[in-house]
Structures are given as C-alpha cells and as structure tokens.
Amino acid sequence: MSLDVNDVKRIAHLARIEVTESEAAATLEKLDGILGLIEQMQAVDTAGIVPMSHSQDLVQRLREDVVSETDQRALFQSIAPAVENGLYLVPKVIE
C-alpha cells in the first residue's frame, strides 16, 4: 500500500517529530520504498503459526521487594536540560 503526504504528516505527529512540507515529501518517497520491501511478507501463508517475540522462551523473573538503588537525584538532574529546586522544568501543562 502506498502513503500520501498527509499520511506522513500524521505518522510524524504520532511519533512526535516535527516535519516541514519539503521533509514530508522527501520522507514519503523513502517510506514508500521501505513499505514496498515490507510488503513481500504478505505473500507468505502464516495461518496457525505462533508469533515469536523472543528466541528463548523466557519467563519473567521475580525478585525480592527490597531497595536495590541508592538516591542519585542530584547526579541524574545534573544532565537535565532544565531543572529548578530538584524538579524537571517543562512548559506549563495545567492552566
């Protein structure tokens, strides 16, 4: 199936990536090529095949509910774009 420029803009919005008109047009061409490649899958009969998410059939491990990490708030906030009084700063979201 092929996309149009509005599809590209919609996908970009879902992905939270701003695109300009010219970027959307250029992206459209590349995405169409990739989707064409992906389309080869549709020729395969996969009725009844169990989907495989991992190579090893793993069971989620449980661990004791104990504290394993120490407080490193200052260290972690030292690499943040904007902090104030130990809080991450973002544009106002609640009026």
Partner 1 sequence: MINASLKELAGALAGKQISSVELTQLFLDRIARFNPEINAYITVDAEKSLAQARAADALIAAGKAGALTGIPIAQKDIFCAKGWRTTCGSKMLGNFTAPYNAHIVSQFDAAGAVNLGKTNMDEFAMGSSNETSYFGKVQNPWDRARVPGGSSGGSAAAVAARLAPAATGTDTGGSIRQPASLCGLSGLKPTYGVCSRYGMIAFASSLDQAGPMAKSAEDLALMMNVMAGFDERDSTSLQRDKEDYARDLNQPLKGLRIGLPREYFAEGLDAGVARVVQEAIDQYRKLGAETVEISLPNNALAIPVYYVLAPAEASSNLSRYDGVRYGHRASEYGDLLDMYCKSRAEGFGAEVKRRIMIGTYVLSAGYYDAYYLKAQQIRRLIAQDFEQAFRRCDVIMGPAAPGTAFKAGEKTDDPVAMYLEDLYTIAVNLAGLPGMSIPAGFSNGLPVGLQIIGNYFSEARMLGVGHQFQQVTDWHVQMPKGIE
Q: Hey, what amino acid is at 23?
A: E
Q: Which is nearer to partner 1, 52 or 67 (CB)?
A: 52
Does residue 6 sit in helix, strand or coil? helix
Token pair belonging to 75: 């260290």
**Residues of this chain, 9-28, that bind partner 1 according to CB under 8 A:** 11-19, 27
**Residues binding partner 1: what is the number (CB under 8 A)?**
51
User: Is residue 19 within 8 Å of 52, Cβ to Cβ?
Assistant: no
Does residue 34 sit in helix, strand or coil? helix
Q: Is 66 in the site for partner 1 (CB under 8 A)?
A: no
Cα–Cα distance measured from residue 76 to residue 89, given in angstroms and rounded to the nearest whole number:
14
Report the nearest approach of partner 1 to the CB of residue 44 (Å). 6
Q: Hey, what amino acid is at 79?
A: I
Site string for partner 1, 35-54 (x = CB under 8 A): xxxxxxxx-x-x--xxxxxx
Summarize as ranges the residues that interact with partner 1 (CB under 8 A): 3, 8, 11-19, 27, 30-31, 33-42, 44, 46, 49-56, 58, 60-61, 63, 72, 75-76, 78-82, 88, 90-93
